[in-house]
């Protein structure tokens, strides 16, 4: 039996309990995400410490301009997401729709730029595995760097795609007149997820793009 959206589920006493449970559940989910990406960051850090030269060189193959623009794009999407939460709380339907749409647009731009970068790396023969045709010193470790580049940014991009799908669902729900006022919770939870994905990128950007710039 599908309950009307945002209504009180039978296991809860009141909406406050339901909302608090949802927020706590989301934070616990984000903790699992921290640890999931954390395993990757730990592996990255170990190899960076054992092969500093390769990491330095690998980093120089990345495009700081594109990475920097993407960082700004993602931060902008976080702003519009935060504004969307505010609009939902204040029952401003048009503002909610506009900010959700902007967030989706920024997210799509980010993925588009990421795709261009991936394509450049493919052309340069820097995609690990059988496409790795790049010629230079210490290829094994350079390949290891790019392995981590692709796994980490790929995992991040995957999370963005999931986020975009959820945002699209929120747009449809808004058009049906939900998510406003007391029913803003799904927007807030999506916002938590979206900001978390932003935080991951905030670390990925310097660790991948910037570590080899000096010297």
Footprint of another protein on residues 14-43 (CB under 8 A)?
Answer: 15-17, 19-21, 23-25, 27-43
Number of residues in contact with another protein, rule: CB under 8 A?
Answer: 79
Tell me the C-alpha distance between 26 and 193, whole Å: 8
Span of 75-83, 108-116, 118-126, 172-180 interacting with another protein by CB under 8 A: 75-83
Near another protein in 166-205, by CB under 8 A? 188, 191-192, 195-196, 198-199, 202-203, 205
Question: Structure tokens of 181?
Answer: 């006022």
The reply to whether 92 sits near another protein by the rule CB under 8 A is no
Distances (CA, A) of 61 to 74, 84, 100, 114, 165: 22, 37, 34, 14, 32
Question: Structure tokens of 4?
Answer: 């009307």
**Binding residue for another protein, selected from 5, 60, 119, 213, defined by CB under 8 A:** 213
The reply to whether 159 sits near another protein by the rule CB under 8 A is no
State the nearest-atom distance from the C-beta of 210 to another protein, in Å.
4
**Binding residue for another protein, selected from 58, 61, 78, 153, defined by CB under 8 A:** 78
State the nearest-atom distance from the C-beta of 161 to another protein, in Å.
17
The reply to whether 77 sits near another protein by the rule CB under 8 A is no
Q: Are 101 and 81 in contact (CB under 8 A)?
A: no
The reply to whether 3 sits near another protein by the rule CB under 8 A is no
Per-residue binding string, another protein, 125-154, x by CB under 8 A, is ---xxx---------xx-xx--x---x---
State the nearest-atom distance from the C-beta of 2 to another protein, in Å.
11
Q: Are 35 and 200 in contact (CB under 8 A)?
A: no
Q: Which regions of 41-181 does DSSP assign to beta strands (E)?
A: none
Which residue has 């580049």 as its token pair? 149
User: Nearest to residue 132, comparing CAs of 58, 208, 213?
Assistant: 58
Q: Which regions of the chain does DSSP assign to beta strands (E)?
A: none
In three-state secondary structure terms, 153 is: helix
State the nearest-atom distance from the C-beta of 129 to another protein, in Å.
4
């Amino acid at each position: 039996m599908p309950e009307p959206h945002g209504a009180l589920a039978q296991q809860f006493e009141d909406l406050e309990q339901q909302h608090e449970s949802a927020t706590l559940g989301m934070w616990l989910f984000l903790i699992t995400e921290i640890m999931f990406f954390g395993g990757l960051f730990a592996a990255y850090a170990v190899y960076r410490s054992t092969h500093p030269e390769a990491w330095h060189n690998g980093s120089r193959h990345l495009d700081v301009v594109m990475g920097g623009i993407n960082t700004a794009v993602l931060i902008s999407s976080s702003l519009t997401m935060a504004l969307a939460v505010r609009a939902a709380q204040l029952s401003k339907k048009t503002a909610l729709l506009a900010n959700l749409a902007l967030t989706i647009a920024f997210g799509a731009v980010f993925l588009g730029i990421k795709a261009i970068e991936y394509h450049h790396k493919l052309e340069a023969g820097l995609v690990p595995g059988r496409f790795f045709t790049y010629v230079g010193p210490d290829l094994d470790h350079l390949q290891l760097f790019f392995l981590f580049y692709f796994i980490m940014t790929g995992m991040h991009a995957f999370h963005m795609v999931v986020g975009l799908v959820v945002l699209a669902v929120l747009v449809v729900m808004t058009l049906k007149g939900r998510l406003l006022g007391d029913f803003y919770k799904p927007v807030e939870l999506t916002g938590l997820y979206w900001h978390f994905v932003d935080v991951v990128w905030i670390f990925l950007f310097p660790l991948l793009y910037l570590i080899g710039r000096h010297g």
